Chain A
Amino acid sequence: MSSTDTDLVVETVRDILTSFEPFVLTAERPWDAGLWSALAEAGMTGVGLPEEAGGSGGDLADAVAIVATLAQGAAAVPVAEQLLVAAPAVLAADLDLPAPDEPLSIAVDGAVTAEPRDDGDGPGSWTLTGTATDVAWAGVARHLVVLATSPVGPVLALVDVTGRETTHAANLAGEPRGSLVFDGVTCAGALLTDARADELRARYALARAVQLSAALEQVLGWTVQYAGERVQFGRPLGRFQAIQMELAEMAGEVTAVAALVDSAVQATERGESLVPAAAAAKVRAGAAVEVVARLAHQVHGAIGFTQEHRLHHLTRRCWSWRDEAGTELAWSRVLGERLLADGPDALWPALTRVV
């Protein structure tokens, strides 16, 4: 797909979103199944995945554009996990990609071990044991990519989790983040090098950074709009210098995040070392949440503190996404370590290589 095609998929997703308002997620209604069906029917849940593997074609930029558009719409569907993390990992490991209309998610946390099966199924077959925690879309995803440990190194396992029991847990926005227990489950899988396992985690972090960047931009847009409409003391809030300073500060954060996240995505497209770029993008995006969400709520006043206004759909997600797929602190340490890998005198060359 070209950039024209990217515009086209964005337009398609926006069209679909007009029929699906964000809602308050609960244990009973933890995702937007209708929206997912509409996206799947339009082929949007297979973008960035090759047609011969059952996908819709297109490149990473197209998939990123879809994820960003859905993040701006506070869409409760596992598209970021599927398009940017789990499905590319399945393909890279040479495993069979599940049908793109069946939600696929990723589990990197918890303690899951994989034992190679020697029953003649070959090294592609493993037995999973243990608990995956903080699983995005647990209970919703039909298939799960699990990053497990084995005596011979990290294993990427692909498990059918349809109907499998999950403990309910949710992030601050109500998105499902429960646990799954595996008690000797047989599944397909592939050995990874440590470096590939690190890259998988980094891709997950970058996916969250893409979502954060898009959501923060939308939060700024909503806040500027609100400041233009809400009248106090006889003029719109946006006419007050104090409010203008806050909105400008938000704009600085949003612009910084967008510049770095876009560059990290491009570095990924070029096949460059992903870990430092993704770490930096995730850390920068997370840091911006502090400022942008706080000031957005400040400007929106009391109505933004309620579920009656749309603002919370994005601010609650941002507050969680910054902690997920590796915390900001963890990625900060990773970035610090990577930048010092060639010694402190090489810090500057290392910085200029990240993105």
Chain B
Amino acid sequence: MGSNSLTLAPAPRSAAAEEVRAEVRAFLAEELAAGSFSTHVDTWLSGVDPAFSRKLGERGWLGMTWPKRYGGHERTAMERYAVTEELLAAGAPVAAHWIADRQSGPNLLRYGTEAQRTAILPRIAAGECYFVIGMSEPDSGSDLASIRTRATRNGDGDWVVNGAKVWTSNAHASHYAITLVRSSPADPANRHAGLSQLLVDLSLPGITVNPIRILDGGHHFNEVVFDDVVVPGDMLLGEEGNGWHQVTAELAFERSGPERFLSTYPLLAEFARRVAAAPDPAGLAALGRLSARLLALRQMSLRIAGALDRGELPDIPAALVKDVGTTFEADVIDEVRRAVDVVASLDSPDPLGRALAEAQLHAPGYTLRGGTNEILRGIVARGLGLR
């Protein structure tokens, strides 16, 4: 095809990444042996454990790529990739800090004021300060530009926010929401104008957090209602009216990581135990097929980490990783079911049956969160020059 924006250079090998990978692996083995956590599927949504997050912070595994003056560790995206991948593969409880470490922190680094960065980033890196994504609303899912949560300036220069955000994962256990608001009236000629991002302290008066249960009964999602919430004027993130651009950049960070293909890895690991216990050609082949897909996704995602280290923001390849990766996450379920006899149940005495149940009940989310696969394919089509 000659040159196209889908293709990235192969990731460089990183000895530093392999070194930190070994450290994380040893840490996780100790924690598992000590019973400080148990492995589950999709733990970057469901595994909230502030004590565990603080342990990661103490070891320097949060805010890894950020400047040291903000509590970061000035390490490479390749090293961060190795750490996040190991945590996900172990099914460790990483949900508390996940959003803050992955996208809110980088967003603050990019657009935050010095005061905002100094106040918040060191706490994120310590594993003590958690964020939620304030994007979707009851009437605005994929069509993010249609949001109606409003922010108006009052006489003191503060923002008065009214509206509601939904699917805010773990808002009940988090400190801040980076909230996309309409800061000036909608302009039909330019739907992306007039949006801004606010850094909203979730303990402010006027905020109500209502639980929304997902299919397995778990409480991760919430509705966050803003009723005349007064947000200090200096909590504007970035530029007033630049919210659309900022949110798009933020989503690119959100889309390329290993959590986009490893959410169901613990199911694959259980499947491997079953196959190893009674190896048969069909089981081995299914394991091989799934592993080949996973290995390709790792390389795609690693290439993006390499591109981030070169200072690029590869939004189209990131969309591709998420499309291919989340499809894979759900396909693991189907392949496992075809290859071995197993009945999915959260109460199963069989760990494979439990992992399958967790994976299945979380499955609808994989290809929705962070931009539906249909939206992602639209982005890819743009990369192919079709839009």
Residue numbers of A with Cβ under 8 A of B are 217-218, 220-221, 224, 227-228, 238-239, 241, 243-245, 247-249, 251-260, 262-263, 266, 279-281, 283-284, 287, 328-329, 331-337, 339-340, 343-345, 347-349, 351-352, 354-355
Contacts and interface: CB of A to CB of B under 8 A. Distances in A.
Interface residues of B, number: 54
B381 A260 contact: no
Nearest to A257: B296
B270 to A, nearest CB: 9
B284 A337 contact: yes
Nearest to B322: A252
B301 to A, nearest CB: 9
Contact of B291 (A244, A252, A335): A335
B368 interface: no
B92 to A, nearest CB: 12
Given A224-B386, A336-B286, A340-B272, 9 more contacts: A218-B1, A224-B1, A252-B324, A252-B327, A259-B303, A335-B287, A337-B279, A344-B277, A348-B269
Given A244-B386, A280-B295, A331-B288, A336 B283 contact: yes
Contacts of A333: 281, 284-285, 288
Nearest to B22: A349
A334 to B, nearest CB: 7
B325 to A, nearest CB: 9
A263 B10 contact: yes
Prevailing SS type, chain A contact patch: helix
Interface in B285-334: 285-289, 291-300, 303, 317, 320, 323-324, 327
Contact of A259 (B89, B299, B385): B299
A245 B323 CA distance: 11
B384 A287 contact: no
B294 A279 contact: no
A284 B328 CA distance: 12
Nearest to A237: B386
B381 A248 contact: yes
Contacts of A217: 1
B89 A348 contact: yes
Interface string B346-387: 000000000000000000000000000010111011011111
Contacts of B297: 256
7 contacts: A239-B386, A244-B381, A249-B323, A253-B324, A284-B292, A336-B288, A352-B85
A7 to B, nearest CB: 13
A217 B384 CA distance: 12
Given A247-B381, A336-B283, A347 B288 contact: no
**Which of B286, B291, B292 has the largest number of chain A CB atoms within 10 A?**
B292
B291 A351 contact: yes
Given A218-B1, A256-B324, A344 B289 contact: no
B14 interface: no
A260 B299 contact: yes
Contact of B275 (A281, A283, A328, A336): A336
Nearest to A347: B272
B276 interface: yes
B21 interface: yes
Contact of B276 (A224, A280, A344): A344
Given A227-B386, A259-B299, A263-B299, A332 B288 contact: yes
B65 to A, nearest CB: 20
A332 B380 contact: no
Given A259-B300, A284-B296, A252 B323 contact: yes
Contacts of A220: 1
B276 A283 contact: no
